[in-house]
Amino acid sequence: MLSILNLTKTHKLILATFAFLAVLAFGSGRAHAATLNVTGGCTLPIAIDSVNAGANQSGCTATGAGYGTGDTITIPAGTVTLAADLPLLTESVEIHGAGMSQTTINGNAWKVFETGMASGSVTVTDLKVTASKATAIQLVNCDGVLENIEVDGTGQTGNANGIIIFSSNSASLDVSAENIYIHSLTGTNGQYAEGFSVGSRAGGHYDVNINNITLANVHNTLAGVNGIILSAGYPGNGGGTITSVISNATIHDITSSLIVAPFATFAAATNGDSTATTNINNITITGVRGFAGSGITAGLNTAAFYAAGLAGGPSDEANVSITVSNSLMADNLNNGVSSNCSYGDMSGNVGGVGTVNSIITSAGYNISDDASCAGFNQPGDQKNISNIISTLGPLQNNGGNVPTRALLPGSPAISAGGAVLGVATDARGIARPGTCPSVGAYQFEGAVCAASTTNAGTNASAPNTGIGSTTTQLINVLAGLLGLGLLTYVFRKQQLSS
C-alpha cells in the first residue's frame, strides 16, 4: 500500500491535482445532456430536430438532465426507412444503434447522416446504412467517432460514396473509426466513387486513426475510384495538413474503366503549403483493376498505394508521405500489368509550378507480387512473390466485425511480419503474437516461430507507458475511487507522447 509520507514532490502534485478534480467532479455537477429513444412517435427525424433545437419537439420526450453538449439518440434493432432527407446535424450529438447487423437505416434514396455545423463533434455507432442518396455519412467541420458501421451501397443513388469527412475552415479536428465495412458502391454518373475519405482544407488539420476497416466491391464505369483517401489542402482553397494511422484494413475488388486509387494520400498546395502523412500497418489489398490516369491525374497509374500532390504557385509546397509495414499486396493491375505503388507530381497537369515531394517508403515486412514499390527494401520486405493469391481465402466472415481474407496454410504471409506498437490484434480481434506475426489484416492462428529463428518482429520496443510505476499506481487508485478512468488514459497518453 502506498504511503503518503513516501510520495515524491511529483506524486504529491499529482495527488493535489486529483483532489482538485474531485472537487470539480462532485461539486460542480456534470454537463447537461439529453437522451432520446427512437420509438413510437419519436421518429429519427424528430429526434434530430429536438437535438438541433435543444428542446423536445412534438413526439419526443428526452430523459436526462436536459439538453446540452453531446446529446444522445438511440435507435433500437430493426429498420428505419426514410421518407425524406434526414435533418442536418447542426449540434454535437451521439447516435447509437443496437448493432451493425441489427439496426438498419434504409435511406430509400434520401440523404442520411449529414452535418451542417461550424464546429462540434458527431459520434455514430452500431448501425448499417443502405440505399442512401449519394454519401451515406458526411461530416463537415467537426470531430468524428465512427464505430461498428456498415455502409451498403445497394440501392444508392447519385454519387457512389461511403463516408466523407472534411473541413472547410482552419480548425484542428480528430477522426476515429473502428470496425467499418463499406461495400457494393457502384458509380454511374461520371463522378468519382469514394469509399472512406478524410480531407483538410483552408489551412485546417486532421488527426485520423482508422482500425479494422474493409472496403470491397466498389466499381465505377465513367470515372475513377478513390478507396480510402486521406488528403490535405484543396485546389484554390489554401493548404492544410493531415496525419493518419491506418491498421488492419482489407481492400478487395475495386475497379474502374479509369484510374483507381484504393489507398491514396494526396496534398494540394495552392495559396498555402500542404502536408499529408500516412502510416499504414497490416493491410491486405487485392483485386484492383484500373488504368493510367488522364487529365489532372496524368502520369499516375492505378496501384495499391498512391501518393501524389500538386502545388500551384512557385512558393507553394505539397508534401506527401506514405509509410507501409506488414502489408500484403497482390493481383492489382494497371491496364493488365501488376502495379502496387504509384506516386508523382500532378502540378503540371493544372499549370502549377510549385514543389511536390511524394514518397512511399517501407517500415519493413511487406510482401508484394511485383517490384513496383521501389522503396520496399527494408528488413522483411519480399517482392515478386508468386503464391500470395493462391494462399488467400475469399473475402468472407471469418469472425469479428468486418470480413477478411484468411491466410491459408503455405501462405508466405504466415509468421513473416514484424511487431507494430499499438497493433496487438488483427481485423477480427484475434491477438497477434509479439514475434513473427502474420503480414496483412488477418492473423494466422496456430503458427509458431521456430526457436532458432531470429525475427525482427521483435524490433518494436515497448513504449514507456508508466504501467507499474508508483505514479501510475497512485493514479489508478485515485481514478478508481473517483471514477476518472479517462484521466488515467489521458495521463498515459501524455507519457507516450513525451
Mean pLDDT of 82-86: 98
Residue 388 has pLDDT above 80, yes or no: yes
Overall average pLDDT of the 261-277 stretch: 93
In the chain, DSSP finds a helix count (H) and a strand count (E) of 4, 27
Q: How far is CA 345 from CA 143, 209, 278, 419, in A?
A: 30, 26, 17, 33
Check whether 42 has a pLDDT greater than 90: yes
Model pLDDT, residue 202? 82
Residue 475 pLDDT more than 70?
Answer: no
Report the share of the chain in percent with pLDDT over 90. Answer: 71
- Weakest-pLDDT range from 206-215, 227-236, 254-263: 227-236
pLDDT band at residue 132 under the 50/70/90 scheme: very high
The SS3 of residue 73 is strand
Residue at 305: amino acid letter: F
Cell of 496: 507516450
Can you name the residues that pair with 275 across neighbouring β-strands? 241, 319
Digit-coded pLDDT (tens) for 307-357:
999 998 999 999 999 999 999 999 999 999 999 999 888 898 888 899 999
At 155-175, the pLDDT tens digits run 999 889 999 999 988 899 999
Alpha-carbon Rg for the chain in angstroms:
24
- What is the reported pTM? 0.85
Angle between helices 470-482 and 485-497 (to 10 degrees): 150
pLDDT in tens, 176-192: 999 999 999 998 888 98
Handedness of CA 376, 381, 385, 388 (dihedral sign): negative
Q: What is the pLDDT of residues 212-224, one digit of tens each?
A: 999 999 999 889 9
Q: Looking at residue 350, what is its pLDDT?
A: 86
**Confidence label for 99 from pLDDT (cuts 50, 70 and 90):** very high
CA distance 310 to 288: 25
Residues 255, 405: Cα–Cα separation, whole Å = 18
pLDDT value, residue 406: 98
Q: pLDDT value at position 208? A: 98
Which residue did the predictor score with more confidence, 453 or 366? 366
Q: What is the pLDDT of residue 210?
A: 98
Q: Measured between alpha carbons, how far apart are the two ends of the chain, in Å? A: 28
Looking up cell 465495412, which residue turns up? 181
Closest CA to 429 of 393, 401, 457, 406: 401
